[in-house]
């Protein structure tokens, strides 16, 4: 367990650095929003190109991305039904729905590496392909549906089609399918950009985070949808597909991951309730340190992993 928290220490250090920079007036919410836009337009495309282009995609393994996509999409009507009467602010409702559907698969990597080693990590990355497909297309378009600005369906479609992460994902999958390697000079540029993604996000979240912005009633419902209902949907779909052992374990574990970082970025881009999104993301990350290890142990016993 100590080794696990050692692996996660950078998460707290970068988050704490963001809080410190806000404390000494170097960063504020507006500047944190600029960092998140940098992540969307430059860092996310880089991390997709670096990670997806080199994955080994077997036919049976392709069911894992499909599980991820189904879980995210099915969480949307659940979240809308649960929040629509309680939350009258359209922007806030949009942020809550985004937080309920977005999956923070990156948080699962240290847990999986600590518990089961690198041989299982490939399944986490495969699951993340499905997360990336939905989050760069469907989720991005959905965010603008809740914007106060009058944006029509055609304009939303244009935003989705022109999304840099979506095009990066298309290129990465094309490189993967054709077994084409990214040229070394280009990879030497993309890899450092990709490595900047997590620190940049965590510093931006730390600079924006405030306990005063947490509404625990809403947070409890977001966690209920994102973790419990998401995990149960993942379990149902994975069982229906006949996934076994490692793939079933990863499908359920990642389906119950904390709230995805990208919900804060989309809240900025679509002018939704950014404070609510930051509070949900940050709090769910902290909570994941409590619930993920027991969940892993329970899943291991249940499927005899």
- For the segment 64-120, what is each residue's pLDDT rounded down to a tens digit? 889 999 999 999 999 999 999 889 899 999 999 999 999 988 778 777 766 666 567
| pLDDT for 129 beyond 70 | yes
Residue 15 confidence (pLDDT) = 81
Instruction: Delineate the domains of the chain, giving CATH numbers in brackets.
Output: 2-303 (1.20.1530.20)
| pLDDT for 7 beyond 70 | no
Could you read off the pLDDT of 16-74 as tens digits, one per residue? 898 899 889 898 878 888 888 888 888 888 888 888 887 776 666 678 889 999 999 99
Residue 93 confidence (pLDDT) = 94
Its pTM surpasses 0.85: no
Instruction: Kindly state the tokens that stand for 109.
Output: 């990597």
CA distances from 56 to 69, 122, 184, 256 (A): 19, 8, 19, 24
CA nearest neighbour of 60 among 251, 299, 234, 298: 251
Percentage of residues of the chain with pLDDT beyond 70: 89
Could you read off the pLDDT of 176-219 as tens digits, one per residue? 888 899 999 999 999 998 888 878 878 887 887 766 667 889 99
Residue 305 confidence (pLDDT) = 47
Half-sphere exposure of 246 (CA within 13 A, CB side): 16
């Amino acid at each position: 367990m100590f080794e696990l928290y050692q692996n996660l220490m950078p998460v707290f250090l970068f988050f704490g650095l963001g809080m410190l920079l806000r404390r000494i007036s170097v960063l504020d919410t507006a500047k944190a929003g600029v960092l998140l836009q940098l992540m969307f337009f430059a860092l996310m495309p880089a991390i997709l190109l670096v990670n997806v282009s080199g994955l080994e995609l077997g036919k049976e393994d392709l069911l894992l991305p499909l599980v991820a996509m189904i879980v995210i999409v099915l969480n949307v009507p659940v979240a809308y039904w649960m929040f629509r009467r309680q939350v009258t602010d359209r922007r806030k409702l949009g942020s809550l729905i985004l937080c309920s559907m977005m999956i923070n698969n990156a948080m699962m990597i240290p847990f999986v590496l600590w518990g089961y080693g690198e041989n299982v990590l490939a399944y986490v990355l495969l699951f993340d392909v499905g997360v990336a497909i939905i989050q760069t297309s469907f989720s991005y378009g959905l965010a603008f549906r809740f914007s106060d600005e009058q944006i029509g369906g055609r304009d939303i479609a244009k935003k989705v089609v022109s999304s840099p992460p979506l095009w990066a994902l298309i290129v990465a999958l094309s490189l993967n399918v054709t077994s084409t390697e990214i040229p070394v000079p280009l990879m030497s540029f993309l890899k450092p950009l990709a490595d900047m993604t997590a620190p940049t996000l965590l510093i931006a979240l730390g600079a924006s985070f405030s306990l005063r912005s947490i509404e625990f009633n809403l947070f409890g419902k977001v966690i209920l949808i994102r973790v419990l209902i998401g995990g149960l949907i993942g379990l149902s779909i994975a069982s229906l597909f006949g996934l076994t052992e490692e793939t079933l374990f990863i499908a359920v574990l990642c389906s119950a991951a904390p709230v995805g970082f990208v919900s804060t970025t989309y809240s900025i881009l679509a002018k939704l309730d950014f404070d609510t999104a930051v509070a949900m993301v940050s709090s769910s990350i902290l909570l994941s340190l409590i619930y993920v290890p027991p969940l892993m142990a329970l899943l291991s016993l249940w499927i005899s992993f």
